[in-house]
């Protein structure tokens, strides 16, 4: 346990100055920061706003996984979407039913975003913002406040504060402090248990804007305090060097595959290569840092057939497999015939996470030592990649 707490402390102190926690505590919004590099993907920071909304102390949540706030009415499909976003290192904004310490469920807008190292593009933290969703009138998927009539009718702005769960309003300090206190007291008392949680409660555009603004504010603080240490962070992946886009566990799994292949990410601009194995580097003559982040068409040259390129593009757009012969070029400009197979790789929710491209060079002269037909070589690589991706997804689901 002590070693885990040491890692949690190190998660912040290695990257930022000692003043970062104090600066984050000055922000009134509800948010947590987690570290996917520590076993169990624990919370390493919880804001004061988060403590007020969920009713836990900081000591009760730091070191724990975010699933502690889930309960019987938490939609499992929504949880799976969050897990997939973590595995794919992407932002997500979704309505979610969570539970406070006293067991009361409530709807919130959950906005999670990765925090990247500016040096190597790796994800070092996930930032998750929670904006509680409250409405005075319970339509489809909204909470019903049964005892709203008990609130003082002459308190200007208090109804709005309560119904939006302590949302930060622009008002004079005295009235804001009063409103926060009354809202907090109301939301944490026993009458809160009379709030009903119906099927998905959709957030308003205001809620979404508030969540996005909080993400921006927290990232600004993290960026500022990382500049002092020289270990800069950013909200977008700033570097594609090395194998930063694929984690260490994936590299181990993919490293066992001897046939040349690459993975591309259709969710990034221009579907860039995010992984290339050693066999691909030997085949093309490029170094890894020269190809990561680039579209595969850099292998094309003056005699590459545009119709074949179009066929590949259309297959990717339609999320379908395709097999083609295409004339490609190595780094030294020598041409080679590539028997290329492209196939979508889907995650646990059925969405396409990657495309795998398997290359066979001059197959008439390059039968593998086990005598497998070229088509079977393609399928064996695709199968191995899918198993590896599925395994990583299962690991992510326990985080």
Is there a domain that residue 172 lies in?
no
User: Within this chain, do residues 211 and 351 fall inside the same structural domain, yes or no?
Assistant: no
Dist CA 20 CA 194 (whole Å): 39
CATH assignment at residue 64: 3.30.450.20
Enclosing domain of residue 220? 2-144+195-234
User: Within this chain, do residues 205 and 260 fall inside the same structural domain, yes or no?
Assistant: no
Is there a domain that residue 178 lies in?
no
Which of 181, 207, 234 is the last residue in one of the domains?
Answer: 234
User: Within this chain, do residues 209 and 94 fall inside the same structural domain, yes or no?
Assistant: yes
**DSSP 3-state assignment of 119?**
coil
User: Within this chain, do residues 227 and 298 fall inside the same structural domain, yes or no?
Assistant: no
User: Within this chain, do residues 94 and 221 fall inside the same structural domain, yes or no?
Assistant: yes
User: Within this chain, do residues 226 and 261 fall inside the same structural domain, yes or no?
Assistant: no
Taking only the tens of pLDDT, the chain with its 399 residues reads: 555 667 777 788 788 888 999 999 999 999 999 998 888 899 999 999 999 999 999 999 999 999 999 999 999 999 999 988 888 788 999 999 999 999 999 999 999 999 988 876 788 899 999 999 975 444 434 544 444 334 444 433 433 433 333 333 333 333 334 333 333 333 344 334 434 445 567 889 999 999 999 999 999 999 999 988 888 888 876 544 434 445 555 666 677 788 899 999 888 878 889 888 889 999 999 988 788 888 999 999 999 999 999 999 999 999 999 999 999 999 999 999 999 999 998 877 788 889 999 999 866 544 444 455 778 888 888 888 887 776 665 544 444
Is there a domain that residue 340 lies in?
yes
Which token pair is 160?
């709005």
Is there a domain that residue 243 lies in?
no
User: Within this chain, do residues 224 and 343 fall inside the same structural domain, yes or no?
Assistant: no
Is there a domain that residue 47 lies in?
yes
Count of residues in the chain:
399
CA angle (286, 375, 354) in 5-degree steps: 55
User: Within this chain, do residues 388 and 277 fall inside the same structural domain, yes or no?
Assistant: yes
Residue that the structure tokens 């009713």 belong to? 55
In 3D space, the residue among 262, 254, 266, 274 whose CA is nearest the CA of residue 388 turns out to be 254
Is there a domain that residue 151 lies in?
no
Instruction: Tell me the C-alpha to C-alpha distance, in Å, between residue 294 and each of 103, 241, 276.
Output: 49, 11, 11
Number of domains in the chain: 2
**Predicted local confidence at residue 164, as pLDDT:** 39
Q: Sheet with 273-276: list strands edge to edge.
A: 273-276, 261-264, 352-361, 335-346, 322-329
Is there a domain that residue 156 lies in?
no
How would you label 120-134 residue by residue, b for 16+ Cβ within 10 Å and e otherwise? bbbbbbbbbbbbbbb
User: Within this chain, do residues 212 and 275 fall inside the same structural domain, yes or no?
Assistant: no
**Predicted local confidence at residue 128, as pLDDT:** 97
**Predicted local confidence at residue 326, as pLDDT:** 94
pTM, two decimal places: 0.51
Is there a domain that residue 294 lies in?
yes
User: Within this chain, do residues 219 and 358 fall inside the same structural domain, yes or no?
Assistant: no
| Cβ atoms within 10 Å of 56's Cβ, excluding its own | 18
User: Within this chain, do residues 66 and 212 fall inside the same structural domain, yes or no?
Assistant: yes
């Amino acid at each position: 346990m002590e070693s885990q707490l040491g890692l949690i402390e190190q998660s912040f102190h290695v990257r930022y100055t000692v003043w970062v926690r104090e600066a984050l505590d000055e922000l009134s919004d509800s948010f947590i920061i987690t570290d996917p590099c520590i076993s169990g993907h624990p919370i390493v920071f919880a804001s004061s706003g988060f403590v007020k909304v969920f009713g836990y102390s900081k000591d009760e949540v730091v070191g724990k996984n975010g699933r502690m706030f889930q309960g019987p009415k938490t939609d499992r499909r929504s949880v799976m979407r969050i897990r997939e976003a973590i595995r794919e290192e992407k932002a997500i904004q979704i309505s979610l039913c969570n539970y406070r310490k006293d067991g009361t469920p409530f709807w919130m807008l959950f906005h999670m975003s990765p925090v990247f190292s500016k040096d190597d593009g790796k994800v070092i933290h996930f930032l998750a913002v929670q904006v509680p969703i409250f409405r005075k009138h319970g339509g489809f998927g909204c909470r019903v406040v049964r005892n709203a009539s008990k609130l003082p009718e002459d308190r200007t702005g208090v109804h709005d504060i309560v119904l939006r769960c302590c949302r930060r309003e622009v008002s004079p300090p005295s009235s804001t402090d009063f409103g926060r206190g009354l809202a907090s007291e109301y939301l944490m008392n026993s009458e809160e248990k009379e709030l009903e949680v119906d099927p998905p409660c959709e957030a308003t555009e205001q809620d979404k804007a508030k969540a996005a603004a909080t993400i921006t504010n927290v990232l600004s603080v993290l960026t500022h305090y990382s500049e002092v240490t020289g270990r800069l962070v950013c909200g977008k992946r700033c570097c594609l060097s090395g194998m930063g886009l694929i984690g260490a566990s994936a590299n181990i799994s993919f490293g066992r595959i001897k046939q040349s292949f690459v993975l591309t990410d259709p969710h990034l601009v221009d579907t860039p290569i995010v992984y290339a194995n050693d066999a691909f580097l030997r085949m093309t003559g490029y170094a890894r840092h020269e190809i990561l982040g680039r579209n595969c068409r850099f292998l094309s040259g003056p005699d590459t057939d545009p119709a074949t390129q179009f066929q590949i593009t259309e297959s990717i757009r339609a999320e379908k497999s395709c097999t083609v012969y295409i004339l490609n070029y190595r780094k030294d400009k020598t041409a080679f015939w590539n028997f290329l197979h492209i196939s979508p790789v889907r995650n646990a929710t059925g969405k396409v996470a990657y495309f795998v491209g398997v290359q066979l060079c001059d197959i008439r002269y390059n039968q593998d030592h086990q005598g497998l037909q070229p088509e079977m070589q393609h399928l064996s690589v695709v199968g191995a990649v899918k198993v590896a991706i599925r395994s990583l997804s299962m690991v992510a689901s326990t985080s």
